Amino acid sequence: METTFQEFGAVSDRRRRDLELRRRSRNVRIGGAVSVVLLVAIVGAVCALYSPEKDAAKQSRAVTIDQVHTTGKSVETLCASTDYRQTCVSSLNKAVKNTTDPKYLVKAAVFVLLDEASAAFNGTRLLADKDPKLRGAVEDCRQLFEDSKDEITRAVDSIAADGIERIPAKSHDIRTWLSSVMSYQQTCIDGFPEGELKVKLQKAQNTLKEMTSNSLAIIGQLTNFLEMLDVTGLGVGGGRKLLAETEEIGGEEFPSWVPEQSRRVLRETEIKLKANVTVAKDGSGDFKTISEALLNMPSKYHGRYNIYVKAGVYEETVNVTKKMANVTIYGDGATETIVTGDKNFVDGVRTFLTATFAVSGDGFMGINIGIRNTAGAVKHQAVALRVQSDHSIFFHCRFEGYQDTLYAQAKRQFYRSCVISGTVDFIFGDSAAVFQNCLIVLRRPLDNQQNIVLAHGRVDRRETTGFVLHKCKIIADRSLVSDGTNIRSYLGRPWKQFARHIIMESEISGAIVPAGYMPWEGNFGLNTLFYGEAGNTGPGADFAGRVKWRGVRMLKKTTVERYTVARFIQGNEWINANRGITIPVRYGLYH
């Protein structure tokens, strides 16, 4: 298939890399007809011999490697673990003919997404005309297509780097990247105005959605199958630290609202960070704006790049791009160093671009800063912070807005001791994000609106995403408490079909109505969402009055533990790794 968006520029390094990947993908089609692939044989053997009633260990021993090598299974067997089997079979049969290398089939299952993503996103280009809204939506899709290509490429490269036995150790990373592809695709669609055109576009991109879901299923099931077979050299664990409760530092404090502890932690933060450059509005630093400091970063900087921003109100739009990895921006305090803007949907800016502060570069850290969108409730969607950075951390920050304050767009994110305020869907997106020891503040919306804290955007059940509120406080702002009107406030509603969030060991005020949740529109998502609660306190935590949707559940401890920092976002592997500062974190539950 011809590549897309060629008219947007000359052949780049990324384009040359794509061509090389396509050349390598053709090698998938060569080889003898001895067997379809070892991996398919593994899956087929396990499916044929395994049953829940029998002892798994005995069955693993029963399936010998010799049997696996000689088992004549087809692509259909591998695709049996997917939700869209026909799409899986069709796409893999086109990409793979015969090979004796198991790694090629796994690579192919992900690589085929490149061509399909090109076709899906290229279809949006044909919609551009004189309508500025359509042109803008097409431009967003172009950028999102580039993001998708990058995620698919690094997933393929990760699979190719080692032997098949090492893929399980990389499963979390690969599925995170593939989940973000689904998020980007949906963001592209959401940027178009409501109507028949948008519906047609969504249908046209359906195959890409199905293929991405299939890739997520294959990677996820591969881990289980190889573990059951006890394949020699299986890279599960890989020496990773597990629930390192003894290593946490300051895990119990709520520094956002305990002044003495707050001062102590802030002093520790300042001591341990050394700035590469300083930003000061009064001219006493290296730059007067954060944007200038970012634009002047070395193009090939190794290690962490620290930008210190002195106290002041900075009226600018900050964009930490994909090329700006491992950046730390820290200030003098969330109420002292403030970045502010007022871009909004009502004034003609697409929600995707309204963010005062946007972060795409992986490994980002934001510390002791405030970020605001001051457009106000009357301007509707107006984002303060948008994040699609993997392994990103925000510590002692404050995010202020009304509707759509925090767009936690994609990948793995950790928020510790932050204050987040807003009204409608003010924490939304499709990331895997844990908010720990954070203060969630309900503000006064418009008279005809309700407050909704969480609006998660998972579009497929295979995605690894979801929102977790852990040891947080949910309270009402004074403007809401003192208001005489009857504003109703909810914990969440399903923005997309498979919305998922968990609220655990948190304090929920009486501002939250007993039902807890409200529909998005009609019955949309009510049978597929997953809203879990466990160990919460406060007048708003009474589960007896919750809506009776199938996915709204009081969770057992064994289930809740899946959504801790260590297990849900693998935080024990990266939160305090080579950051130059120790972030307080609780890797497991408090009780």
Is 29 within 8 Å of 96 (Cβ atoms)? Answer: yes
Is 146 within 8 Å of 121 (Cβ atoms)? Answer: no
- Residue 52 CA: distances (Å) to CA of 56, 59, 80, 82, 330: 8, 11, 17, 19, 52
Measured N-to-C along each axis, helices 171-190 and 102-125 cross at an angle, to the nearest 10 degrees, of 10
In one-letter notation, the amino acid at residue 439 is: L
- Residue 166 CA: distances (Å) to CA of 157, 170, 391: 13, 7, 21
CA distance 384 to 401: 6
List CB contacts of 27: < 8 A, sequence separation 6 or more: 104
| Residue whose token pair is 């968006």 | 5
CA distance 228 to 471: 36
In one-letter notation, the amino acid at residue 266 is: L
SS3 at position 41 = helix
Q: Please, what sign has the CA dihedral across residues 88, 90, 94, 96? A: positive
Left (φ > 0), alpha (ψ -120 to 50) or beta: where does 516 sit? left
| Residue whose token pair is 């309700």 | 450
* Beta pairing partners, 456: 429
Both tokens assigned to 52: 């829940």
Is 368 within 8 Å of 311 (Cβ atoms)? Answer: no
Run of H or E residues at 560 = helix 557-560
Is 421 within 8 Å of 399 (Cβ atoms)? Answer: yes
Is 83 within 8 Å of 217 (Cβ atoms)? Answer: yes
In one-letter notation, the amino acid at residue 442 is: L
Other beta carbons less than 10 A from residue 196's beta carbon = 7
Count, residues in the chain: 591
Residue 430 designated active-site? no
Of 377, 365, 298, 360, nearest to 328 by C-alpha is 365
Query: For the chain, first and last CA: distance in Å?
Result: 55
- Residue 385 CA: distances (Å) to CA of 317, 357, 377, 451: 10, 5, 16, 19
**Annotated catalytic residue: which of 115, 190, 390, 425?**
425
Active site residue ranges? 425
